[in-house]
Amino acid sequence: MKSKRLLIALFLFSLLINFGGANWVQNKIKLVKTIESNAKLFLIGPKSINIDGNWDVVGNEVRQDEVIVLTGNLTVKPGGNLTLINTTIYINGSFDGEFGIRVEENGILEIYNDSEITTYNIHRFFFDVEAGALFVMEYSTLSYCGYGDKQGLTIKANDSIVKYSTFHDNLFGIVAENIWNLTLEGNYFYDNYYGVSIVSSNNVIMNGNVIEDGFFGGVQVCLSDYMTITNNAFVHDSLYVMVMPPFVIHYTVEGNTVNGKPLYFLYNITDHTVPKNAGNIILILCRNIIIRETILSASDNGIEIVASSDLTIENNTMDDGNTGIIGWGSSNVLIKGNKIRNNILTGIGFSSSQNITIRNNLVSNTTLLAPDAKGVSLEDSYNVTIIKNEIINNYEGIHVKGGENVNVTLNNIHGNEIHGLYAENLNKNVSAQNNWWGSSAGPEYKEVGDQYDPEEVYGNVSYSPWLVEEVTINIDAVPPSLRIMSPQNESWIHENVDISAEVSDAESGVKEVLFYIDGQLVYTDTNAPYRYLWDTRQLSDGQHTIRLVAYDNEDNRNASEIIVNLDNTPPQIDTPTITPSEPREGDSVKVTVTISDAGSGISHVYLKYRVDGGSWMSIEMAGTGTATSSPFSASIPAQNAGATVEFLIEAYDVVGNNATSTIQSYVVGKKSGGFTITSTTTIAISAIAVVSIKAIVIYLTKKGK
């Protein structure tokens, strides 16, 4: 025990260093000093006081450096004011609840500086601070308080303050009911049945407290608002929150840890994956949340779900707590491949929920709080499927109360202490066919269950046929690996595109791969290699989404998507020009043309030419503009006079679309100074001929005379 306490002390010391610095550590060291009750009696000395009978405080009293054994009730009456400084009060009752402390309306109780209130013997006492009173407790200790419906220090007074104090071995460390303005700061709660309970209260600040080893829970907040819960360290405990519709709350919950890992409190969050380092997770009014591969052990509730939907909870471990998963008012929840073991109350529990799938989980050894311990508990829930789970060695395997359309199939359900399945108050039966009940003869239908197989079932249950041997169940929540190999993300594509992927699954094998284009399923491939030939020619140019979804044989899924740019439009070729415009023998001819491409961009442009109908020759043209629009030019070598030259342009874009211009031509003229017939020469010759003819006519006319 001493070594355990030393380890805990060292752990707490590290937490305190992280949450407040040296001064706070000094305060906490002061707090955790515990002196056994009887040891103090040896130090009573002259200031020891025995009070037999009730102690009523009606005026101002200050008790300092005293040890008081009270065999009666302590009541601070209206107008009374009691201050305790370094004073110990032992409540000496002969049975639980015989005596206690009450601070009435308009009474004041202030407890300071190493004061302690505890029992004188094994019998517990009550401690009530009523509405309208004033209560302050700092650097002091309360222990062995609370019994039955008297839960512990119950505070109903507004503006109460409890700082740097220690609460241990109480039923509840503190219960706050119907109050405004409560400050709980720097306190240490350990080994209580429950650490702190806050009910129907507002403006509560909990900062920098350590809450450890509450048997049933650390901190519960019920129907309260305007909560500030910051920088608290939970050790084998956690936070539980109960809220009611419409679920509008004003909470600041941050900087808290559970067993040294972050407490994630998500309110009204959408599209989020919880980090794997979580120590405790609370979802309120959330949607599309993924919780995967966390270890949420040794806390009150591994995962709490309130009014949330579209959740995936897979491949997590939730051991040694109160409850693995607890949900209320939620829908569309997949719980798969989790290991939920050795919890004291419930493995998986849902109430007033619908569309819940519980698949391929191990739920075992939920036994401690019998008869309430259940592997799976459903209350007033609808459309629930429990399939391919190991539900073994719990106090009760599955308990269904109310609700409708509950389907239990292909599970191994055996070794539970009482019933494998118990259904009560159902209008329609639970379908529990094709399960293994620990015997080839099937289950026994009995109202009273026992610890021996075959399992017992009872209530409105249909359980035939059953499996005659145990089914092999893979606790597999690991999705297949998936990688799109081609095309590449953000790449340009055209015409027929080969979509291929590498897919594997070491656990249960690949079942299928689904190919989606722009959200539409276009192909399903069930065998490797996983590929699809996509004809893009009916689609418009621009961005498109390729998404692949792979499933293994336990329906774990993985998805990957890429964006591609489709370009099925060839480049545009403007009308080319030539320089010189009337080529002559010996002239090389420069051909210039503007090419544009709004898609993938221009890749190559070629000038093709031939002379007098011969073979085509090709020259790559040089561009001087941008990838999407540019003038290109190249030169045709000089040719002989009279040669007919034909030419055309071929343009290619990046993805391979191409365009070809119409054929242009020119005839090579003679060099300057020769006689080359042109349109000007023809006109000149015609004019000379006309003049000559006229002269001849005149000459002949004159000669005839």
Q: How confident is the model at residue 572 (pLDDT cuts 50, 70, 90)?
A: very high
Q: How many CB atoms lie within 10 A of CB 29?
A: 13
In angstroms, rounded to a whole number, what is the distance separating the alpha carbons of residues 462 and 248? 41
Contact 11, 5 (CB under 8 A): no
| pLDDT above 80 for 697 | no
Instruction: List, for residues 241-284, the tens digit of each pLDDT value.
Output: 999 898 899 999 999 999 999 999 999 999 999 999 999 999 99
In this predicted structure, the answer to whether residue 416 has a pLDDT above a threshold of 80 is yes
Neighbours of 80 (CB within 10 A): 20
For the chain, how are helix, strand and coil distributed in percent, rounded to 5?
10, 50, 40
State the pLDDT at residue 22.
30
Question: Is the model's pLDDT at 11 over the cut of 70?
Answer: no
Asked whether 237 and 217 are in contact (CB, 8 A), the reply is yes
CA-CA-CA-CA dihedral for 82, 85, 88, 93, to nearest 10: 10
**Does residue 2 register a pLDDT over 50?**
no
The answer regarding whether domain 572-667 maps to CATH 1.10.10.10 reads no
The CATH code of domain 481-566 reads 2.60.40.10
pLDDT at 426: 77
Residue 603 has pLDDT above 80, yes or no: yes
Please give the share of the chain, as a percent, with pLDDT higher than 90. 83
What is the overall mean pLDDT for the chain? Answer: 89
Neighbours of 300 (CB within 10 A): 29
Output the CA–CA distances (angstroms, integers) from residue 340 to 221, 284, 315, 364, 374, in the order listed: 25, 22, 10, 7, 12
> Quick one: pLDDT at residue 368?
72
Mean pLDDT over 175-193 rounds to 98
**DSSP-assigned letter for residue 47:** G
Has residue 302 got a pLDDT over 70?
yes
pLDDT band at 26, cuts 50/70/90?
A: very low
Q: Nearest 5°: phi and psi at 653?
A: -95, -175
pLDDT > 50? residue 38: no
**43 pLDDT exceeds 60?**
no
Render pLDDT for 420-473 as a digit per residue (tens, 0 to 9).
999 998 778 899 999 999 999 999 999 999 999 999 999 999 999 999 999 988
Q: Which residues sit opposite 649 in a β-bridge? A: 607
Q: Is the pLDDT of residue 665 over 50?
A: yes
| Whole-number Å distance between alpha carbons of 432 and 418 | 17
Contacting residues for 10 by C-beta, under 8 A, at least 6 apart: none
Q: What is the pLDDT of residue 478?
A: 85
Percentage of the chain lying above the pLDDT 70 cut: 89
The 134-138 sheet, strands edge to edge = 60-64, 81-85, 108-112, 134-138, 160-163, 180-185, 202-207, 225-230, 251-254
Give mean pLDDT, residues 211-232: 96
Q: What are the pLDDT digits (tens) for 575-598?
A: 999 999 999 999 999 999 999 999
Q: The pTM is what?
A: 0.72
Arithmetic mean of pLDDT, 532-537: 97
Specify whether domain 271-279+288-303+311-473 bears CATH 2.160.20.10.
Answer: yes
91's tokens:
């409540």
Residue 494 has pLDDT above 70, yes or no: yes
Residue 50, CA distances (Å) to 58, 70, 96 in order:
19, 6, 20
pLDDT for the residue 44: 42
| Spatial separation of the C-alpha atoms in residues 53 and 41, rounded to whole Å | 20
Task: Tell me the CA distances in angstroms from 525 to 408, 495, 510, 514, 533, one per residue in order.
Answer: 31, 21, 10, 6, 12
How confident is the model at residue 371, as a pLDDT? 76
How far apart CA 435 and CA 632 sit, in angstroms, is 76
Q: Give 336-377 pLDDT, tens digit per residue.
A: 999 999 999 999 999 999 999 999 999 999 987 767 899 999
Q: Is 232 helix (H, G, I), strand (E, B) or coil?
A: coil
> For 600, how many CA atoms within 13 A lie in the half-sphere containing its CB?
23
- Is the fold of 271-279+288-303+311-473 the same as that of 481-566? no
User: What confidence score (pLDDT) does residue 474 get?
Assistant: 81
pLDDT(5) > 80: no
Q: What is the pLDDT of residue 370?
A: 66
Where do the structural domains in the chain lie, given as residue ranges? 271-279+288-303+311-473, 481-566, 572-667
Give me the pLDDT at residue 385, please: 98
Query: What average pLDDT does the segment 303-313 reach?
Result: 98
